[in-house]
Amino acid sequence: MSDGQLPDRGAVPVDHVSLRRHNLAVVLGNLRESGPRSRARIATDTGLNKATVSSLVSELSDLGLVRDGEVERGGGVGRPGQTVEVDGRVCGLGVEANVDYIAVLVLDLRGEEVLYRRTPVDVPGLGAQRTLDELARAIRSAVAELRDGGRDVAGVTVALPGMVETTPGVLRHAPNIGWQQVQVADELTARLAAADGDDGTARVACPIRVDNDANLSALAEYVMGSSAGVADLVHLTGETGVGGGVIADGQLLRGTQGFGGEIGHMPIGNPSQPCGCGRFGCWETAVGLAALLREVADPDDTTITDPSVDLDIRLAEIRRRAELGDGRTLRGLEAIGTALGLGAAILVDLLNPRVIALGGYFAVLGDFFLHAMETELDKRVVLPGRGGCRIVLSSLGFRAACRGGAHVALEAVLTDPASVATPTAVVAEVPGGMA
């Protein structure tokens, strides 16, 4: 124990196996955060001795997680060093089903986006079972493409717009897509484990996690968004529903059953406006996607209101009109901003976040309503100086939930690199296999 770093586990005794697993994670984390470097430099960075580092690097290489990089040149003492770098072969996959689309996103272990694909799907109309078929097809197709490129997935995370029991991966209730009690993890595992499909894709066997889309978006914002590292932040997603994800003191606020962050139904909207949840006057009736469309366009303005047209295209049209100074559009966006500020004020006073990050359609159109939102916030927030809170538009946009999902899938590898050997599909693909 002379040179190792101790796992953060309080009074639990540290044995040699867990210490080694921890040190694998330390070395992999060092390479991921600080970039390619020599074994000697890793030893200096981590406090581990050089022989230990060499052995750990060799094990990580066998697992397919690191590989040799360039040879270091220039003025150092001693012989030029062979650098080591994170290998991008192992990937995490995030998949999302929302009201009108499904999406797949892959991050490699270096944090780079390898693949993103969004498909318009009428999820409420399709129902849970057939949507799960679609999700499985999308995952199998993405994995097949990855395998063709010599990569594979270490895990899949499913993002859903509802209340999720992350263990065992069950969706309890999702009003906006009409799902109730769906065994998402089990159902998908079965579909992915089936023998080769008629689309020619091979079976996929890896851990499947399920989580709330807003939680995953907040996590993505915290880990890789423009607010990365901000320990107290709220992420608001503007879609059909309005999702909230809260990071408090660097931790995702889940609550006692993991359902925290349901902020769309605060009773602060117009009391005569019906909500998808069956109540009236919920916040999302004033700031959700339906409210936006209602505020900026008449029902027969199909360029904007036709749900079969991709949302990106419709939002681009709203943006175009706003840029042209169209009065109806600008007034509508201002109304959205004011309503957003009213609810955000509650969150600021209760949670005192450093940042509120706006995702989904808020991120696409926010520059046109930010002023109205901040004006309302300043009127309503009790904390002096708004408690130091900044409002930012998320750079992750609609990809946030998928990105958070892909990150969570990779996190298991980063925390315990040796675990990557477990999914058989991955072992089969990684040359060298496990020691």
SS3 (DSSP) at 383: coil
Which residues fall within 8 angstroms of residue 348, CB to CB, at 6 or more apart? 356, 377, 381, 383, 386, 387, 389
Question: Judged by CB under 8 A, does residue 19 bind its own copies?
Answer: no
Contact predicate 369/336, CB 8 Å = yes
Closer by beta carbon to its own copies, 8 or else 198: 8
Piece in contact with its own copies (CB under 8 A), picked from 37-45, 126-134, 190-198, 375-383: 375-383
Based on the shown chain and the rule CB under 8 A, indicate whether residue 20 belongs to the binding site for its own copies: no
Among 210, 247, 199, which Cα is nearest to 97's?
A: 210
Check residue 6 for interaction with its own copies (CB under 8 A): yes
Distance of alpha carbon 23 from alpha carbon 57, whole angstroms = 10
Among positions 32, 354, 416, 422, the unique one binding its own copies when judged by CB under 8 A:
354
Residue 152 CB burial class (10 angstroms; 0-12, 13-18, ≥19): buried
Whether the Cβ atoms of residue 191 and residue 139 lie closer than 8 Å to each other: no
Q: How far is the CB of 52 from its own copies (least distance, A)?
A: 15
Q: Does 178 bind its own copies (CB under 8 A)?
A: no
With beta carbons less than 8 A apart as the criterion, state whether 214 and 244 touch: yes
Least distance in angstroms from the C-beta of 280 to its own copies: 11
Continuous segment of H or E residues that includes residue 311 = helix 311-323
Cis peptide bond prior to 168, omega within 30° of 0:
yes
Sign of CA dihedral 390, 360, 219, 30: negative
Q: Which is nearer to its own copies, 260 or 337 (CB)?
A: 260
Q: Please say which residue, 244 or 288, places its beta carbon nearer to its own copies.
A: 244
Distance between CA 391 and CA 235 in Å, rounded? 10
CA distance 147 to 91: 11
Residues 384-423 contacting its own copies, CB under 8 A: 384, 387-389
Rounded least distance, CB 390 to its own copies, Å:
10
Among the listed residues 113, 334, 349, 416, the single contact to its own copies using CB under 8 A = 349
In the complex, minimum distance from the CB of residue 311 to its own copies, in angstroms, rounded to a whole number = 24
5 touches its own copies by CB under 8 A: yes
Pairing of the two strands 242-248 and 233-238: antiparallel
Task: Note whether 269 binds its own copies by CB under 8 A.
Answer: no
Least separation in angstroms between residue 183's CB and its own copies is 16
Does position 37 interact with its own copies (CB under 8 A)? The reply is no
Query: Which region among 106-114, 116-124, 347-355, 366-374 touches its own copies (by CB under 8 A)?
Result: 347-355
Binding flags for its own copies, 229-258, as an x/- string (CB under 8 A): --xx-----------x-x-xx-x-xxxxxx
- Which positions lie near its own copies, rule CB under 8 A? 1, 5-11, 14, 26, 47, 163, 172-173, 175, 231-232, 244, 246, 248-249, 251, 253-268, 277, 279, 342, 345-347, 349-354, 380, 382-384, 387-389
